[in-house]
A = this chain, B = another copy of it.
């Protein structure tokens, strides 16, 4: 049993992921190693040594991205690198945490210089945008391409956004539009290979809302990111908060490109159940609505109120099903294995 790479392969790996590399790719992206705030000791020892900021909590999350489960194997290496980090950054955004450091566990079926360069560009490009530093990693050879990233952020004591603070009477709102990622995945399966296609880009290159989460964390009562789908994630929020919710389907924001691609009915269905959008689902007291909206707009984002938190458990709503208007309940506890 051995995962030994050849010396040349190790040289390649080091070229893209080790700390002495300033420019990992040919674009203007640079290695996140330049952003080393709080890094006492980076790669090259048994552990990274980090200095968390005093007065903060450390926010930690892990997510695995597996070829042909979480992304299409034939997506560009750059998109795969971007997406693998983005879904993790989105967990920090959901807590309102400031991105600090991440570690990367990469399992590769083979060592291909061009693929590694693209992957590093996608990963480092996004890392730089969100000011998060790569501080450790483990690269293994295996049959399946698999990327596991653990992200670390910090958030001042008692300021984290959690899933358990929603209160009856709070407004329910989302950043951005929903359903586009699901539309992009369907377009990909239908043969669309332009990664700049707006729906495909929504799926392959989601934008984690880290700045938004940090900016509004003190104005919202609860929140999480929409990865499983609006209904499923709203279910998680309600379960943890011990509340229910009433959705107004007509208020759910859907991109025009999605409606053009799927039609209004399927677009709404994608928004409700598609998942992979990585927008934030928030609850907030009505008095904070204007301030939250203004803060998000300052950051180039949007806020759409889509319902209300209720004291009765379960999610109710009136949703057009194509067969008419359906009043639905979603009272199942959350089924995700991911915390």
Contact = CB atoms under 8 A, between A and B. Distances in A.
Interface string A25-65: 00000000000000011111111111110100111111110
A301 B147 CA distance: 38
A114 interface: no
A243 to B, nearest CB: 16
Most chain B CB atoms below 10 A, which of A40, A90, A141: A40
A107 B58 contact: no
A119 interface: no
B140 A142 contact: no
Interface in A194-246: 224-225, 240
B185 A43 contact: no
A101 to B, nearest CB: 7
A130 interface: no
Interface string A138-173: 111111101010101101000010111000000000
A137 B62 contact: yes
A68 B94 CA distance: 37
Interface stretch (A6-14, A258-266, A291-299, A319-327): A6-14
Most chain B CB atoms below 10 A, which of A41, A52, A148: A148
Given A45-B162, A105-B105, A58 B68 contact: no
A277 to B, nearest CB: 14
A224 B45 contact: yes
B7 A335 contact: yes
Given A1-B70, A66-B3, A60 B47 contact: yes
A174 interface: no
Oligomeric state, in number of copies?
A: 2
Given A44-B240, A146-B146, A335 B10 contact: yes
B64 A140 contact: yes
A103 interface: yes
B337 A139 contact: yes
Contacts of A68: 1
Interface string A108-149: 000000000000000000000000000111111111101010
A72 interface: yes
B49 A148 contact: no
Contacts of A101: 60
Most chain B CB atoms below 10 A, which of A1, A13, A69, A240: A1
Leading 10 A-B pairs by shortest Cβ distance: A43-B339, A46-B94, A47-B59, A150-B150, A62-B103, A148-B148, A47-B61, A50-B58, A46-B91, A139-B337
Interface of A: 1-3, 5, 7, 10, 13-14, 17-18, 40-52, 54, 57-64, 66, 68-72, 90-92, 94-95, 97, 101, 103-105, 107, 135-144, 146, 148, 150, 152-153, 155, 160, 162-164, 185, 224-225, 240, 335-339
